[in-house]
Structure 1
Amino acid sequence: MNVARFPVNEHDKYHAHVYFDQDTVTFATMLCEKAANLFGLAVGRVHHRNIGPHPKWSCQIAFTSDDFDILIPWLERERNGLTIFVHGITGDNLKDHTEMAYWLGKTEELNLAIFKTDSSLEVVGS
């Protein structure tokens, strides 16, 4: 089990993955749309299934270090209990989802097997 680390601005590019479920999908969708409109950020599709290493439904927000100091406190204030997984983008997916992993809210276990060449399963968070 890893300890949740609050995001720090030490990378050039980031993704924030807003996690939600059937009960919170409407709020999460509005949160992501509001972030896109307020900050001019690229927001991905609202996934109603688990995608990649993510253990819950999610929507991705792409942003840079220039956006970080405004976006992260805003997300923390506005998330209304949702978990948001934030990670740096270095080109090394495994590292990005482990060493560069930050959380707003509780941590979740990520399925990191998709980033490995062997069939072992590793999880981060809890």
Structure 2
Amino acid sequence: MNEPKRPINVHKAYHAHVYFDASTVEFATQLCNEAGAKFGLRVGRVHQKLVGPHTRWSCQLVFSQQSFDDVVPWLDEHRNGLSILIHGVTGDDYKDHTDHAYWLGDEADLYLGNFL
């Protein structure tokens, strides 16, 4: 099995999608809120349902290229085993979730059919 692609700072804007389940929702919520407060990030809803291409429950964090070098290592250090998708925001949703997709932890399957 290939190692997931690690995040690189090459885009102007990013989304991080923190994945969780019923047993980790409380921790994931705390992680997202703490990241939002610490780095001034926009924190999306904590979705306890499948949303968009995500095949797991998730919460989105929005950040910029300027924040990347602080946010990504912090998330990696504090994720406590959760998988986090980090992708560039370029305006091409398909490429953002494939070519521009990077992972902290295990890679998760995505449903890309809506982008084709």
Aligning the two structures, in what range does the TM-score lie when normalised by the shorter sequence? over 0.9
Gap runs ≥5 in structure 1: 117-126
- Distance in 1, matches of 2:45 and 2:24, equals 15
TM-score normalized by structure 2?
Answer: 0.98
1:44-101 CA distances to partner (integer Å, 9 max, x unpaired)? Answer: 0000001000010000000000000000000000000000000000100000000001
Q: For this pair of structures, how many residues does the alignment match?
A: 116
- Matched with 2:77 is 77
**Misfit runs of 4+, over 6 Å:** none
1:23, 1:3 → 2: CA distance?
A: 26
Instruction: Determine whether 1:36 maps to 2:36.
Output: yes
Structure 1 residue 3 displacement after superposition: 4.1
Partner of 1:21: 21
CA–CA distance in structure 2, aligned partners of residues 2 and 49 of structure 1: 28
Tell me the C-alpha RMSD between the 2 structures: 1.0
Give the equivalent residue in structure 2 for 1:52.
52
What's the % identity of the aligned pairs? 55
- Ranges in structure 2 where 5+ consecutive residues have no aligned partner: none
Deviation at 1:2? Answer: 6.0
Larger radius of gyration, structure 1 or 2?
A: 1
The TM-score with structure 1 as length reference comes to 0.90
